[in-house]
């Protein structure tokens, strides 16, 4: 009997951009966490660093210690390269996660054209919330040439207190920006997130596990991907 290796076409379930023109809001942290979480769930994940190597460095650290699953990671500095490569390779992957930033970044603009979902992390500080207007303008620009980009804002580095006034105020301010739906799955300020992402690990892979960090990340990943699958 001849055994044949049947190659089923892979479905791209989602191209997700974690983007913000503002730096330091947690794009790299969340892109790394989401990509590894999806890979641990058995997906073929491609992580793209379109923002100054933070993601690529984290994934290189993961590869160096041989941690499985390995994460495929590419780095593209400009929009044309990113767009060309994603268009060419998208069918090989189930989930593509793009880390993109920079006010005048062509990579961010290209990512907004290609993505199904945009996730914009922001910290519960007023200047971070104002910076969403910048992103809202880029979303309008993307929507002028395409349909169907779903945009979510998520609080990152939220105050750990359950009833923090800063968190509540920031969530209310974001609700005023019509381009974004507020995703009610905040990631709080926890050492586990910075330690894990820096080492290219999921929070669930850290030797000293922080259950709260794991639960928050799971809630974010499942709300992002379930929302997408259900539409
Ligand atoms: N939820 C979090 N808890 C603790 N530290 C965080 C969290 N998110 C991000 N950080 C830290 O904040 C800094 C900026 O995050 P980073 O992901 O590099 O932002 P960006 O990619 O948007 O510039 C990093 O030092 C990172 O470790
Ligand atoms: Mg970054």
Q: Is the pLDDT of residue 215 over 50?
A: yes
Q: Which ligand is nearest to the CA of 20?
A: 1
SS3 category, 65: coil
Q: Whose CA is nearest to atom 7 of ligand 1?
A: 157
Q: Cα–Cα distance between 180 and 119 in angstroms, integer?
A: 9
Percent residues over pLDDT 90 in the chain: 83
Task: Say how many Å lie between the CA of residue 119 and the centre of ligand 1.
Answer: 15
Mean pLDDT value of segment 131-147? 95
Tally of helices (H runs) and strands (E runs) in the chain: 9, 7
User: Please, which pLDDT band fits residue 113 given cuts at 50, 70 and 90?
Assistant: very high
Residues with a beta carbon under 5 angstroms from ion ligand 2:
27-28, 51, 54
CB-CB neighbours of 28 under 10 Å: 25
Whole-angstrom distance, CA of residue 181 vs CA of residue 196 = 28
Q: Identify the pLDDT of residue 125.
A: 87
Residue 4: per-residue pLDDT: 59
Give per-residue pLDDT as tens, 44-85: 999 999 987 789 999 999 999 999 999 999 999 899 999 999
Distance of CA 62 to the CA centre of its chain: 18
pLDDT exceeding 70 applies to what percent of the chain?
93
- Most informative mutation of 18, 29, 135 for ligand 1 (most atoms within 8 A of CB): 29
DSSP one-letter string for 183-220: -S---B--HHHHHHHHTT--GGGSSS--HHHHHHHHHH
How are strands ordered across the β-sheet holding 150-155? 72-75, 45-50, 95-101, 14-20, 117-122, 150-155, 181-182
d(CA 230, CA 221): 14
**pLDDT the model gives residue 6:** 62
**Is the per-residue pLDDT at 155 higher than 90?**
yes
Q: Which domains does the chain have, with CATH numbers?
A: 14-229 (3.40.50.300)
How far apart CA 66 and CA 135 sit, in angstroms, is 37
Closest atom of ligand 1 to CA, residue 101: 22
Distance 149 CA to ligand 1 centre (A): 25
Contact residues for 166 (Cβ-Cβ < 8 A; gap 6+): 124, 125, 159
Q: Share the mean pLDDT of the chain.
A: 92
DSSP-derived 3-state class of residue 170: helix
Mean pLDDT score, 89-110: 93
pLDDT at 130: 83
Q: Which atom of ligand 1 is nearest to the CA of 20?
A: 22
Ligand nearest to the CA of 52: 2
Question: Which residue lies with its CA nearest to atom 25 of ligand 1?
Answer: 194
166 Cα–ligand 2 center, Å: 24
Measured in Å, how far apart are the chain's first and last C-alpha atoms?
44
Q: What is the pTM of this model?
A: 0.94
More reliable by pLDDT, 91 or 104: 91
DSSP H or E segment with residue 130: helix 126-130
- What per-residue confidence (pLDDT) applies to 231? 46
Mean pLDDT of 210-226: 96
On the question of pLDDT at 228 being above 70, the answer is no
Q: What is the pLDDT of residues 17-44, one digit of tens each?
A: 999 999 999 999 999 999 999 999 999 9
Rg of the Cα trace of the chain?
Answer: 17
């Amino acid at each position: 009997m001849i055994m044949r290796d049947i190659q089923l076409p892979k479905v791209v379930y989602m191209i997700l951009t974690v983007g913000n023109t503002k730096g330091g809001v947690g794009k790299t942290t969340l892109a790394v966490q989401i990509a590894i979480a999806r890979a641990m769930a058995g997906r073929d994940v491609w992580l793209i660093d379109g923002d100054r190597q933070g993601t690529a460095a984290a994934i290189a650290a993961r590869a160096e210690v041989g941690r499985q699953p390995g994460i495929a990671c590419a780095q593209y500095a400009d929009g044309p390269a990113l767009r060309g490569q994603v268009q060419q390779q998208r069918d090989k992957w189930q989930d593509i996660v793009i880390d993109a930033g920079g006010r005048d970044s062509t990579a961010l603009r290209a990512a907004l054209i290609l993505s199904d979902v945009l996730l914009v992390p922001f910290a519960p500080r007023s200047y971070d919330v104002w910076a969403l207007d910048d992103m809202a303008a880029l979303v309008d620009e993307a929507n002028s040439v395409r349909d169907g980009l779903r945009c979510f804002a998520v609080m990152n580095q939220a105050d750990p207190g359950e009833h923090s006034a800063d968190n509540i105020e920031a969530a209310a301010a974001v609700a005023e920006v019509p381009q974004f739906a507020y995703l009610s799955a905040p990631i709080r300020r926890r050492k586990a997130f910075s330690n894990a992402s820096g080492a290219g690990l999921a929070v669930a892979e850290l030797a000293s596990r922080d259950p709260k960090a794991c639960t928050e990340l799971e809630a974010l990943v499942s709300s992002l991907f379930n929302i997408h699958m259900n539409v």
